[in-house]
Chain A
Amino acid sequence: MIGGLFIYNHKGEVLISRVYRDDIGRNAVDAFRVNVIHARQQVRSPVTNIARTSFFHVKRSNIWLAAVTKQNVNAAMVFEFLYKMCDVMTAYFGKISEENIKNNFVLIYELLDEILDFGYPQNSETGALKTFITQQGIKGQHQTKEEQSQITSQVTGQIGWRREGIKYRRNELFLDVLESVNLLMSPQGQVLSAHVSGRVVMKSYLSGMPECKFGMNDKIVIDKQGKGGASDEAGKSGKQSIAIDDCTFHQCVRLSKFDSERSISFIPPDGEYELMRYRTTKDIILPFRVIPLVREVGRTKLEVKVVIKSNFKPSLLAQKIEVRIPTPLNTSGVQVICMKGKAKYKASENAIVWKIKRMAGMKESQISAEIELLPTNDKKKWARPPISMNFEVPFAPSGLKVRYLKVFESKLNYSDHDVIKWVRYIGRSGIYETRC
């Protein structure tokens, strides 16, 4: 259980402090500040023990969130809780920043009261929380009186994440498949590690209590269905199916059904939420390849040539491409020649930043740079940080495809065909690095 929760700004000033249990004294707040935030060396561990009290902290931009406990607790649980807390706060007032926290402190106190009672997590679903919380975030819209009176039905009902009697004139839903590709490649072009972590985010504007069924090209499902269906079709779709390493669902998904039939069925919450989160490591389509060439010409000059190759259908366009080529600390001047886009040497970041607005698939582009170095006495070898890359592509690098999303609502008379559905795929770069 959690004994208390503190939020500090980057200077170590306490913005929010909420103590749940008496065993956490007033000095605990200061102990964390002195030992961690103001400590001279880097953070040694996300868990700090000070005088038999454990402090678990996470950092969001320059805000520190620390959970304190005297018990020997399950560390994974406390961290998950802190993430959840961040998610809830983001859902209420957007980015977690000092200003937002100061503006919403009453809301945060209220949230902390509802989410934790006596240090035990009680209720952390944003949807269900909304009915208990009277304050609104800066962005939130005002709550009506009727909504408050509906608490009874929601508190007693089985479905905590959706209230009854929702009506929309147009039944619409939006599905976003958002993925981030992570890559670590050796200079020789060998993939050291690659994985995709993806999320399926759904925005639903549906009336009543609709029952939804979601289908994707997961290997296990396809294989299962392939047995019953025509062998020809199974072979065809089998090629496109993907192997998901692990996935997590929103609490609305019936896990028992997923375990037995691998079908994802659920009653969705209203508005935007994350339906599932998954990870794949096999057969990843790497949208870009980076081929670095670094040559040291004497002690005061460095020649760098970097080629990027796009590796997807020529009809698709990648956007917001940015390649970051690190330069040594003693760089005095850089000359850059690139065929496409714009490249600049940013001395403050010690890197050449090369930006390309758009790039079609199966293309190649190149940059070459001459870096002049100041001669130094420092014998320290340059650590050669990896070349990193950012981009956005309109497909899912894991190969995931949404096959269907069916909506059934038995009480209100609208059918699956009447629902307007939108599907969008966005692949972004996570940590996409090539060593040089």
Chain B
Amino acid sequence: MPYLGGEDTVRELRRALSNPNVQSDQLRYRNTILKVIRAMSQGVDVSGLFSDMVKACATVDIVQKKLVYVFLCSYAALNPELSLLVINTLRKDCQDPNPMVRSLALRNMTNLRLPSLMEYVEQPLTAGLRDRAACVRRVAVLGWAKLHNLQPNSEIDAAVVNELYSLLRDPDPVVMVNCLRALEEILKEEGGIAINKPITHHLLNRLKESDVWGQCEVLRILQRYRPQSEDELFDILSLLDASLVSPHPQVMAATLSLFLSLCSGLPAVSLAALERVRGPLLAACGSVSRELRFTALCHIQLLLRSLPGLMGAHYKRFFCGYAEPAYIKQRKMQVLVELVNDDNVTMLLDELKGYCTDVNTDTAQAAISAIGRIGRSYSDRCLEILTGLLALKQEHITSAVVQTMRDLVWVCPQCSDTVCLALEGCEETLQDSQGRQALLWLLGVYGEQVSSAPYTLEVFIDGVRSEVSLGVKMELLTTTMRLFLCRPAETQDMLGRLLHYCIEEEPDMCVRDQALLYYRLLHCGIEETQKVLQGRRSDPSLGVLIGRPSEPISQWACSFNTLEPLRQGTVETDSTISASRCTDASADVPASSIAAPLSLSLSPALSPEEFERLWLQRQVLHSEQEQIQFPAIPHCSPQSLQAAMQLVNIQTLAFTPPHTLPWRVYLYTHTQHAGDSPHITLILGELLYTGEEELKVTLKQQPRDDKALKGFLSILTTVLHTLVTQLVWFIAR
């Protein structure tokens, strides 16, 4: 083994290298050097041979030279003094008539990575920039970038920078692109290479000559250019049109990215460009290599955020193959959820149903939660599938189904009957803590509809001693409390037992505190307890907002064609988990909101003139002022604010542009109580932000109805809250 006989090997190799007979026979010499390199890559420390190898460097045989250079570059850092000996040979090689030798010498000179040798390297590098062979110039140009990287603090001579700029006009396309790369690195502190009109036009005209890597580089750097006139912009766009539908996905993506940055002010053009890349993008999704398919899918997800309808007709392209890796399947499902519409919902659900029994548990659970998300708009069909899955009695499937049902009920309360029916008997198959937590939450909130709820709970309470999951214990406490409120006779006894255990025996501080809190709460009387525990069962306004409004393209354009979209999936799955946990927690918060649901409507519409007249008529209207804490709101775009408001039927009439002070928005709506007789009131509102901590809300109403006003305010805060969290999320990214 080389590891054992390391020293012997080195001694033997040294003897061979210094043997004059070997040195005179080129083939034998070369083979010996090959043995050195082999030993090196096997992990033997051959640094002791450095001086012998330096000698071997002075040869006319290119093969031998290359081998020696591989050795020198790996060990130069260990022997800075001896490396000085190599420099001489290298500099001599830089004068060699063979361009390959010249480029080789130059490249290795810069690859030695020794700051002490810098002074010897600069002169050959300068000469290399003017070499007549393109391959030498290629190496020399990048060599300057390497020098800069080695000593970032030292200034690179301005003359060199100028020379590099002039080499942008080099006949060899690789030299041109290398110049771009080198200047980007050298001038990093000044914001990279300066892009002006002549350079842009030059680069664009020569785009076709370079290979795909070069094209991507050029297109990326051109994103910094801002055309001076609209005519120029359109000239550039039409020049780039061919690369937009390029068969190379990476060029296509780079071009689209450039398009989006150039057309940030022209949404119509960006939309047309997106329509145009649909074909190539779909082709990339069906590409042979899975990694590329994955990348394309991630980018399609990005596009769908702005254009949900872009791929609607092509949903079949996103069906999963049996042998595809899990990460592609999960991405495809995320895309499929976005593409659902009335025509394809049957097909899509059938397909997703097939994935629910996938061998990979992650994929199966992703499929189930995808069905749940479709359930927000097609609840009946989805619930049918979900209840069907429960019959399989599979541990991981049941857990995912129960979690999905919990999330679904939170936004679609009308599903609760079906869900309650389905819950019977599934506690036997549930094993993991997440699934049991979900089941407990459902039992707590819909306890009076599930006849067997107390019995199920009893099993849980009896086993609480052996329970390990903290989350389950906490949830169990809350659920038992809630169930006690609606079915006191059946639950009282077990609640007592549970509280006793948690307060007296439970080692975990959190659970004990929670139990103590409930215990003291019960002392305060049933009404107080009810006020704390009987929170909202669902949040319909959230449901509408989750059908995300389409975002403006500019919100993601800057992250297109980078690593960002590939990372997002993981972030997104995490955030859905935390969101579902939030729903559990939020139920515990004392609910100040309305009891009876309130519905808002936009009709009859109000014209801006009428609004103004009514707003100024003080005596007719009842007015009220409120302060809400949303300092981030004025930073969000008017479009997203308007879209969000419209989803809950609030019409915004006028706004000041974002980031101005004072920032104002005017809005109106009509409120109506669901159960009561038709009792409609008109609400006018003004949001005012003057730069302090709070957002001032002024509401005017006709006729007066305090309950409606309170309800409206809670809806408004929910909308604003959702907007802010979205906004913060974007900023964070």
Contacts and interface: CB of A to CB of B under 8 A. Distances in A.
A72 B292 contact: no
Given A117-B139, A379-B394, A110 B66 contact: yes
B254 interface: yes
A47 B295 CA distance: 9
Nearest to B323: A431
A82 B290 CA distance: 13
A6 interface: no
A140 B383 CA distance: 63
A111 to B, nearest CB: 11
Contact of A151 (B99, B213, B216, B247): B99
Contacts of B325: 42-43
B326 A42 contact: yes
A341 interface: no
Given A155-B133, A184-B321, A193-B319, A81 B99 contact: no
Nearest to B62: A134
B359 interface: yes
Interface of A is mostly: mixed
Residue picked from A46, A49, A148, A193, most chain B C-beta under 10 Å: A46
A113 B107 contact: yes
Interface string B374-404: 0000000000000000001110000000000
B327 A43 contact: yes
Contacts of A83: 289
Given A74-B250, A80-B292, A152-B133, A383 B358 contact: yes
Contact of B394 (A106, A121, A380, A433): A380
B208 A58 contact: no
B178 A151 contact: no
B233 interface: no
B327 A46 contact: yes
A197 B321 contact: no
A79 B220 contact: no
A245 B142 contact: no
A242 B212 CA distance: 28
A73 interface: yes
Interface string A145-163: 0001101100110000000
A54 interface: yes
A61 to B, nearest CB: 15
A156 B133 contact: yes
Nearest to A143: B63
A46 B177 CA distance: 28
A99 B477 CA distance: 61
A75 interface: yes
A77 interface: yes
A195 interface: yes
Contacts of B288: 197
Q: Is the interface of B mostly helix, strand, loop or mixed?
A: helix
Contacts of A380: 392, 394
Given A43-B325, A123-B174, A193-B319, A279 B283 contact: yes
Contacts of B563: 47, 54, 72-73, 75
Given A79-B295, A245-B279, A195 B392 contact: no
A122 B322 CA distance: 38
Interface string B308-329: 0000000011010111011100
A79 B566 CA distance: 13
Contacts of B354: 435
A47 B566 contact: yes
Interface in A37-68: 42-47, 49, 54, 56, 58
A56 B63 CA distance: 32
A22 B217 CA distance: 21
Contacts of B133: 152, 155-156
B34 A106 contact: yes
Given A148-B62, A152-B133, A248 B291 contact: no
Q: Which of A54, A121, A245, A246 has the most B CB atoms < 10 Å from its CB?
A: A246
A75 B295 contact: yes
A27 interface: no
A68 B217 CA distance: 18
B726 to A, nearest CB: 23
A46 B563 CA distance: 12
A230 B396 CA distance: 66
Interface in A98-150: 105-106, 109-110, 113, 117-118, 120-124, 132, 134-135, 148-149
Nearest to B392: A381
Interface residues of B, number: 82
Contacts of A251: 211
Nearest to B360: A42
A37 B289 CA distance: 20
B291 A193 contact: no
Contacts of B290: 46
Nearest to B69: A113
A318 interface: no
A106 B146 contact: no
Contacts of A73: 562-563
B334 to A, nearest CB: 13
Given A43-B325, A379-B393, A433-B322, A81 B213 contact: yes
A1 interface: yes
A106 B564 contact: no
A156 B134 contact: yes
B74 to A, nearest CB: 10
Nearest to A386: B322
A96 interface: no
Contacts of A54: 563
Contacts of A77: 212-213, 216, 250
A315 interface: no
B70 A106 contact: yes
Contact of A76 (B178, B295, B358): B295
Nearest to B248: A248
A18 to B, nearest CB: 10
A74 B562 contact: yes
A279 B402 CA distance: 43
Interface string B443-469: 000000000000000000000000000
A135 to B, nearest CB: 7
A193 B289 contact: no
B544 interface: no
B555 interface: no
B602 to A, nearest CB: 42
B149 interface: yes
B130 to A, nearest CB: 14
A191 to B, nearest CB: 9
A407 B298 CA distance: 44
Given A46-B327, A120-B181, A134-B63, A433 B321 contact: yes
Interface in B146-194: 146, 149-150, 174, 177-178, 181
Please name the 9 residue pairs, one residue from A and one from B, whose CB atoms are nearest each other, closest first.
A248-B247, A121-B213, A76-B250, A134-B63, A46-B291, A77-B250, A246-B283, A79-B291, A155-B135
13 contacts: A47-B566, A54-B563, A79-B291, A105-B38, A120-B217, A124-B211, A148-B98, A151-B135, A152-B99, A155-B135, A184-B319, A246-B247, A380-B392
Interface of A: 1, 16, 21-22, 42-47, 49, 54, 56, 58, 72-77, 79-83, 105-106, 109-110, 113, 117-118, 120-124, 132, 134-135, 148-149, 151-152, 155-156, 184, 192-193, 195, 197, 245-249, 251, 255-256, 259, 277, 279, 379-381, 383, 385-386, 431, 433, 435
Given A79-B292, A195-B286, 18 more contacts: A46-B327, A49-B567, A58-B291, A75-B562, A77-B250, A80-B292, A81-B213, A82-B291, A118-B145, A121-B213, A122-B174, A155-B134, A156-B132, A184-B319, A246-B283, A255-B242, A381-B392, A383-B357
Interface of B: 34, 37-38, 41, 62-63, 66-67, 70, 98-100, 107, 113, 132-135, 138-139, 142, 145-146, 149-150, 174, 177-178, 181, 208, 211-213, 216-217, 220, 242, 247-250, 253-254, 279-280, 283-284, 286, 288-292, 294-296, 298, 316-317, 319, 321-323, 325-327, 354, 357-360, 392-394, 561-564, 566-567, 569-570
